[in-house]
Amino acid sequence: MKRREFITMLGGAVLATTSRGYAQAPARALRVGTLGPGPVITDASPVGTSLLHGFAQLGYTQGANLVFERRGADGHLERLPALIKELSASKVDVIITTGFPAASAAKEHSPLPVVAIFAGDPVGTGLVESLARPGGNLTGISDVSEELTPKRMELLKELAPGLRRIAMLWNASDLGMTLRYRASEAGAKEMGISVVPLGVREPDDFAQAFTAMEKESPDAILMVTDSLTMLNRKRVFEFAAAHRLPATYEFDFLVREGGLMSYAPDLDESFGRVAALADRIFKGAAPAQLPFEQPTRFKFALNLKTAKAIGIDVPPTLLSRADEVIE
């Protein structure tokens, strides 16, 4: 159930407000390609629902003035260049990518305009020259892990006051996620929390990560989300539950699926900005001149059922701060 909304301004981020006139879509259909390293984005998925909502706010209706060409690599990153060629051949006007591998491949293999999200730090990974002036054919929504980690740790410590060591799971073969992990690691250490780094590169590595945690049990887990960890998320949920470990995640839909808690950008706001950037490109703007934007609205989600299952009593003060509580 919804409780309230956190509204946080980060690092001078500026969120452009869409005007009524701007929301009028053109007569011909906008052709949008979607591409990610995991499964194809469907209308019913959390990402797909938020993206459709974002376009709807701008006056677009799927099947009328909006057409999607959807592609997903299903974990086989070597397929990304071929999928990009397919999108180019289908004459899409813009490609929306999720994750760093898809954004990097789109930048390298296509001159088409790209709007990227969930790609990590776009400057640190070399996707763009700067947030203000991306250059090239790519813009999007930037990563704000440095700002989010302290808040995640603060909420986790309220739930588990004895927190001293946290295990961090991330895809070590993904540069975007590695930089996100490093930002989280630095933030945790600044708070006096030691970090157990557990980089994974393929599904078999999760068993090794779990074994490492069994040998030296951490006080909590943080899972950095990409296609690899998403595909193995239920294994993480089950391990955390079996060992009664509190775990925090980067997206609220993971909490709805059984994760304990998350503090994350609001997907509707983020994909609303993705849709707005795509709309501006469709109307003639160049990605090189469209600054990378930062999320400004965040949600704290908490799963009470999971908390009870691992023997955690949620403090009333923390419960009252949750935007969404799953019971």
- Give the residue extent of every domain in the chain: 10-143+266-295, 145-264+300-326
d(CA 58, CA 68): 16
User: Average pLDDT for residues 280-301, to the nearest whole number?
Assistant: 94
Cβ neighbours around 211 below 10 Å, total: 9
Q: Could you please state the CATH topology (level 3) that the domain comprising 10-143+266-295 is classified under.
A: Rossmann fold (3.40.50)
For 9, the 3-state DSSP assignment is coil
d(CA 25, CA 40): 26
Angle at alpha carbon of residue 47, lines to 42 and 50, rounded to 5° = 105
**Percentage with pLDDT > 70 across the chain:** 92
For 52, the 3-state DSSP assignment is helix
The dihedral formed by the CA atoms of 149, 151, 152 and 157, expressed in degrees to the nearest 10: 120
**Level-2 CATH architecture, domain 145-264+300-326:** 3-Layer(aba) Sandwich (3.40)
Q: Which pLDDT score is estimated for 27?
A: 58
Residue 24 has pLDDT above 60, yes or no: no
Do domains 10-143+266-295 and 145-264+300-326 share one topology? The answer is yes
d(CA 324, CA 1): 5
Residue with tokens 């990590």: 120
d(CA 79, CA 90): 17
d(CA 248, CA 310): 14
Q: Which tens digits make up the pLDDT trace of 44-65?
A: 999 999 999 999 999 999 999 9
d(CA 157, CA 101): 33
Residue 182 has pLDDT above 70, yes or no: yes
Q: Which pLDDT score is estimated for 20?
A: 35
For 32, the 3-state DSSP assignment is strand
How do strand 165-171 and strand 194-200 relate by DSSP bridges? parallel
Q: Which tens digits make up the pLDDT trace of 30-49?
A: 899 999 999 999 999 999 99
**Percentage with pLDDT > 90 across the chain:** 81
Residue with tokens 């949008």: 32
85 Cβ contact list (under 8 Å, min separation 6): 109, 110
134 against 7, higher pLDDT: 134
Strands (E) located in 12-65: 30-36
The overall average pLDDT reported for the chain is: 89
How do strand 324-326 and strand 94-98 relate by DSSP bridges? unpaired
Residue 22 has pLDDT above 60, yes or no: no
* Sign of CA pseudo-dihedral 250, 255, 261, 262: positive
DSSP calls for 86-108: HHHHTT-SEEEEESHHHHHHHHH
Q: At 320, which helix (H) or strand (E)?
A: none
- Using a 10 angstrom Cβ sphere, with 0-12 exposed, 13-18 middle and 19 or more buried, the burial of residue 10 is middle
Q: Which pLDDT score is estimated for 28?
A: 73
Q: Which tens digits make up the pLDDT trace of 187-244?
A: 888 889 999 999 999 999 999 999 999 999 999 999 999 999 999 999 999 999 999 9
pTM of the model: 0.86
DSSP calls for 143-191: --HHHHHHHHHHHHHHH-TT--EEEEEEETT-HHHHHHHHHHHHHHHHT
Structure tokens at 126: 């070399």
User: Average pLDDT for residues 63-71, to the nearest whole number?
Assistant: 95
Closest CA to 142 of 179, 117, 170: 117
Q: Which pLDDT score is estimated for 205?
A: 97
Q: Which tens digits make up the pLDDT trace of 129-154?
A: 999 999 999 999 988 877 888 899 89
Structure tokens at 240: 């955390």
d(CA 221, CA 196): 9
Phi, psi for 47 (deg, rounded to 5): -65, -45
Q: Which tens digits make up the pLDDT trace of 246-266?
A: 999 999 999 999 999 999 999
Under the banding of pLDDT at 50, 70 and 90, the label for residue 326 is very high
